[in-house]
A and B are shown apart, each in its own frame.
Chain A
Amino acid sequence: MKYLSILLIVLLSACSTAVPVTAKFPDAPGKGSMERCTDLVKLQDGVKLSDVSKTISINYETYYSCAVKADTWQEWYQIQKNIYEKAGK
């Protein structure tokens, strides 16, 4: 029984399979993509029309830069997915 147990342990040792391959997670698309979208600028009381226009313009810029960020991440995901699916075949 003792020898049988030893033999069983030796045979079962064949089941231990270490997986040495590790895939590096792809980097983010640029440093800016990791930054949070900034808050929109607010108006002060008694503000002039030109200041309102400028604030709106700044806020649109903020929105579009954030939209670019979102588009970039979507494109990044799609491309990286294709690359890694191709590698897995």
Chain B
Amino acid sequence: MWIVELLPDWVLHLILLAGIVGTTAGFVLGMIPVIKQYIIPIRVISIILVVFGLFLEGALFDNQTWILRVKEVEAKLAIAEAESAKANNKITEKSNTQNNKQKEKTVIVKQYIDREVKRYDNQCVIPNEFVKAHNDSAERAK
């Protein structure tokens, strides 16, 4: 609420206090001639101040409650962000390890192909139909 954020807390307390003092003066000290002269405006203004002051006190209390809740959530989120970053590092590391293992495996398989399969290169003719079937399967569907 902008009024609560704009004005310092003591101003809000002062408005309520002024209202209470004014109301007390307007109803209890009515017999004093100086006060009696302005009794109606004092009563009206004081009651307005009490109502507005109470409203602002409620808003202030509500605002403070929310500030506490926000701080609580911010603290929880900070913990969550730290945990999230830690978990991310772990996952990334795991995925990198798996990818490296896969690459190493491919290198070993390629070495095996050069050593064992290459011998059959002259004995085996790969038909173009096989190549077509392979390439069609390897192509991403559009």
Contact = CB atoms under 8 A, between A and B. Distances in A.
B113 A65 contact: no
Contacts of B1: 13-14, 16-17
B59 interface: yes
Sort chain B's interface into a size bin: 35 or more
Sort chain A's interface into a size bin: 35 or more
B3 interface: yes
B88 A26 contact: yes
A16 B79 CA distance: 29
B135 A49 contact: no
B80 A13 contact: no
A23 B68 CA distance: 17
A49 B77 contact: no
Contact of B138 (A10, A40, A64, A79): A40
A43 B135 contact: yes
B36 interface: no
B3 A10 contact: yes
A7 B16 CA distance: 17
B73 interface: yes
Nearest to B106: A61
Contacts of A27: 84-85, 88
A72 B95 contact: yes
B87 A80 contact: yes
Interface of A: 10-11, 13-14, 16-17, 20-21, 23-24, 26-30, 32-33, 39-50, 52-55, 57-61, 64-65, 68-69, 71-72, 75-76, 79-80, 83-84, 86-88
Instruction: Name the 10 nearest CB pairs between A and B, nearest first.
Output: A30-B92, A87-B80, A40-B138, A72-B95, A42-B135, A61-B106, A29-B91, A50-B118, A48-B121, A49-B124
